[in-house]
Every structure is written in C-alpha cells, then in structure tokens.
Amino acid sequence: MNDVPLQAERHYLAGLLEAIERCAYFLEASRSRLNWPLEPNELARRCKDVDLFESLAAINERFGKLQDTLGAAMRQAALLAGERTETFLKLLVFYEKTGVLESVTDWQVCRTIRNQAAHAYDTDYAIIAEHFNMLETMIPGLYGIAGRFLAYCREELHILALHDDFSADFLAIMGRGDAAPASGT
C-alpha cells in the first residue's frame, strides 16, 4: 500500500509542532521584556512608548498565534489518530480525556480572552492593564497545553517537531531544560 499521503500528513503535523515551539519561544521573549503586573498609571505615563506598546501588541499576536497553531495541530493529530473531528468541541473533549487539556473550559476562556484582544481597541489604561495582566497569567497554562500536546504526539503518534531549532528552548520554557528530542517524524 502506498503510504505517501500518510507520510505527507505526518510531515505536516511535524511542521505544526515546530511552529508551536517557535510560537512559544517568541511569545516568551516578548513576555520577558516587560515587568509584571502592568500598572495603569505606568501605561498612561508611557502612552507614547513605542517599544512598550509594540511588545504588548506582540504578546497579543503571539498568544493568538500559539493558540491558533495548537488548534490546527490538535485537529491534524486527531485525524492521524483516527479520532472524530466533526466539531472543535468534540476535539477539545478528546484532548481533555487524554490529559492534554485540563478542561475544555480553560481552552474556551483562553479563546475568549484572545478574541477580546483582537477586537477591542480600548484607551482606558486600567482596562488595558487588566487585559494584559490576565493574558500574562494565562500564558503558562497555554504553554502547559502545548507541552502536553507535544508529549502526546511524541508518545502516541511518534511524531516530533520537523526541525529541532526551537526544541531545547521550548523545553527550557516548559521548565524542563534537559535534553531536547531529536527532530523528525
């Protein structure tokens, strides 16, 4: 039997796994540039600080990109595992059962906060600080989902990140800076 289509699907997932590691790396780089928690008075005082507001914009964008990439990779992995993927909610329930997600609600809360950031253009510095402080507290949970998902792919599907350029950094972000896995599918 010709397994070329299956190998292409596995290769695609490996690329998504690499993208997850890369997203986490750049999100953490942006996050680490700021002093948390953010204070509304400080944001107001620095209202024209391009570096500060570019860092905040990067955090919004990179948080969303990490969650979007995780979502795409979760769907791809479920397809390879032969799981039902008619709705994303069924997919989330599957990953809750496998332990990748602690709860479906946690994912949905992350999505809601991410969507609010994408569509809100607030000028109240208290609201801006509250949003980013909430986002900052959610980042470790999103990293946890990413780490458990990569472990699921490694252990259940035997698929790793396509290249290991970000693997050691990802493990360090996860607090397990030991040996990085080899790359490949």
DSSP string, 66-78: HHHHHHHHHHHHH
Tokens of 118: 């994408």
Q: What is the CA radius of gyration of the chain?
A: 18
| pLDDT given for residue 3 in this prediction | 83
> How far is it, in rounded angstroms, from Cα 129 to Cα 132?
5
How much is the average pLDDT of 153-164?
A: 97
> How far is it, in rounded angstroms, from Cα 70 to Cα 16?
8
| pLDDT given for residue 22 in this prediction | 98
| pLDDT given for residue 142 in this prediction | 95
Question: CA separation (Å) from 125 to 29, 45, 55, 129, 136?
Answer: 23, 10, 16, 6, 16
| Residue 125, C-beta contacts closer than 8 angstroms, at least 6 positions apart | 40, 41, 43, 44, 47
DSSP annotation of 87: S
Q: What is the per-residue pLDDT across 86-138, written as a single tens digit (0 to 9) for each?
A: 899 999 999 999 999 999 999 999 888 888 765 556 788 998 999 999 999 99
